[in-house]
Structure 1
Amino acid sequence: MKLIVVFAAVLAVALAAPVDEKDAHVVQYENDHQGIGGYNLKYETSNGIQQVEQAQLKKFDDEVSALVVRGSYSYVGDDGQTYTVNYIADENGFQPEAAHIPRA
């Protein structure tokens, strides 16, 4: 019985240990490519990185159109805290927003 308890404790510690970056792997991946009209992307890795992104084609005038991208990504920092960045990339450039990013 004592051996089972020790084994369970060791197993719990091993499963709770953070994944080394070089050993990280993709645990979820979805990509819905909609041709020239846009896409939806979502993925997650075993080391806590996640990203969700959507893009749609926006027509600015008769000759100019571009993808407008909205999304977010998150990761676990060295301090163990999860950081999330929400963003949009459009005709005004890349515009990230997050509590940990300083504002001008």
Structure 2
Amino acid sequence: MFKLVVAVSFFIAVTLAHPQSQQDKDATLVSSVFADDGAGNVNYAFESSNGIKQQASGQLKEVADSSGNGQQVKTEVLTGSYSYTAPDGTPITITWVADENGYQPQGDHIPKGP
């Protein structure tokens, strides 16, 4: 659960870090949902009046223990997205997965490697 709180905090900070216009400063929360069943399944979403949207869901997954002892351990796997309009009017959308392989964002404006 701690990892989820850290991940959610990170994504909210990233979303709110872009430069703010007057519309952004006066934004209000339009909708917000958070559900945690206590068994590792979580869902959250929010939308603000200035068009910022974010959503994520997560569940526990068994993966091989990184110590190489051949045992399985449970880890939280989160998937989600966030979107906003850049100051130049460009719509920005990021989809992401956070799992045993780390944070993996995807978006049209993210530079692609060779």
Q: Give 2:105's aligned residue.
A: 96
One-letter amino acid of the structure 2 residue matched with residue 29 of structure 1 = S
Aligned equivalent of 1:66, options 51, 63, 75: 75
Please, which runs of 5 or more residues in structure 1 have no aligned partner?
1-17
Of all paired residues, the percent bearing the same amino acid is 41
One-letter amino acid of the structure 1 residue matched with residue 37 of structure 2 = Q
Pairwise CA RMSD: 1.7
Higher relative contact order (CA 8 A, sep 6+): 2
What is the TM-score of this pair, normalised by structure 1? 0.75
* Displacement of 1:64: 2.3
Distance 1:101 1:71 in 2: 16
One-letter amino acid of the structure 2 residue matched with residue 53 of structure 1 = A
* Displacement of 1:20: 2.5
Residues 88 and 95, structure 1, Cα contact 8 Å, conserved in 2: yes
Note if 1:36 corresponds to 2:39.
yes
Deviations 1:19-55 (A, max 9, x none): 5222111101111112132201111011111011110
**Residue correspondences, number:** 87
Residues 19 and 47, structure 1, Cα contact 8 Å, conserved in 2: no
Distance 2:57 2:22 in 1: 28
What is the TM-score of this pair, normalised by structure 2? 0.69
Please, which runs of 5 or more residues in structure 2 have no aligned partner?
1-20, 65-70
Q: Give 2:57's aligned residue.
A: 54
